Amino acid sequence: MKLELHYQTPIEWAEQAYEGIDDFLQDHADSERKVSNLCLSIITKYPNRHEIIDELTQIAVEELLHFKQVFDIMQKRNLTLRSNFKQDQYIKQLSEIVREDSDGRFMDRLILASIAEMRGSERFGLLGQVATDPQIAKFYKNLHIQEMEHIDSFIKMAKIYFPEKSVNDRVKQILEKEAEVTASLPWRPALH
Ligand SMILES: [Fe+2]
Ligand SMILES: [Fe+2]
């Protein structure tokens, strides 16, 4: 099954985001830490699902490294980290689709993680195209490729525990919801 976003971000989004690149970097630093935290929280909540601990740990480390790379760029620009995570409407609205029962919740969180990686990869790629600062352009072009690899990882994890068809059906539903949410949110210098 080929995974594709149902809403394509226009390049104008990236042009606008790049105008607020300092704010964007601060939001991006938060996002990387949040994904790393998410991987660790899945391990904490489902400690018996041994098959995915290696991969979750690896992604948690990679996201933390991305955080460090964003932070390095921020430091060169004399930017500080925000003391509080700002609420992300994208994540908040998408979380409404997550089912309450333990298995449903587990599957949905993995699928949501995969789709959020897809959106991140798409937007980093666009930013890489419009950034005029060569260091930032290179950074986002690389991230576009690296985050793409995480998309399949989360779906593969879900398929270890659930039938392929039920995962694919759920992916379709969540992709629709994601497109609706993304299209409805106002643009700001942030990942979502
Ligand atoms: Fe990342
Ligand atoms: Fe990622």
Return the percentage of the chain with pLDDT > 90, whole number: 95
Condensed to tens digits (0 to 9), the pLDDT of residues 94-149 reads 999 999 999 999 999 999 999 999 999 999 999 999 999 999 999 999 999 999 99
Q: Which two tokens stand for residue 71?
A: 């932070």
Q: Residue 55 above 80 pLDDT?
A: yes
CA-CA distance, 34 to 64, in Å (whole number)? 9
DSSP three-state, residue 87: coil
Nearest ligand for residue 32 CA: 1
How many angstroms separate the alpha carbon of residue 147 from the centre of ligand 1?
6
Per-residue pLDDT, averaged over 60-73, amounts to 97
| Residue-range domains of the chain with CATH | 11-79+88-182 (1.20.1260.10)
How many angstroms separate the alpha carbon of residue 59 from the centre of ligand 2?
7
Using only the alpha carbons of the chain, give its radius of gyration: 16
Q: Which two tokens stand for residue 163?
A: 């039938």
How many angstroms separate the alpha carbon of residue 143 from the centre of ligand 1?
7
Residue 95: its pLDDT value, please? Answer: 95
Condensed to tens digits (0 to 9), the pLDDT of residues 152-180 reads 999 999 999 999 999 999 999 999 999 99
DSSP three-state, residue 162: coil
CA-CA distance, 20 to 70, in Å (whole number)? 15
Closest alpha carbon to 26 in 89, 87, 71, 88: 71
How many angstroms separate the alpha carbon of residue 150 from the centre of ligand 2?
5
Phi first, then psi, for residue 137 (nearest 5°) are -60, -45
> Average per-residue pLDDT in the chain?
96
Taking the model in full, what pTM does it have? 0.95
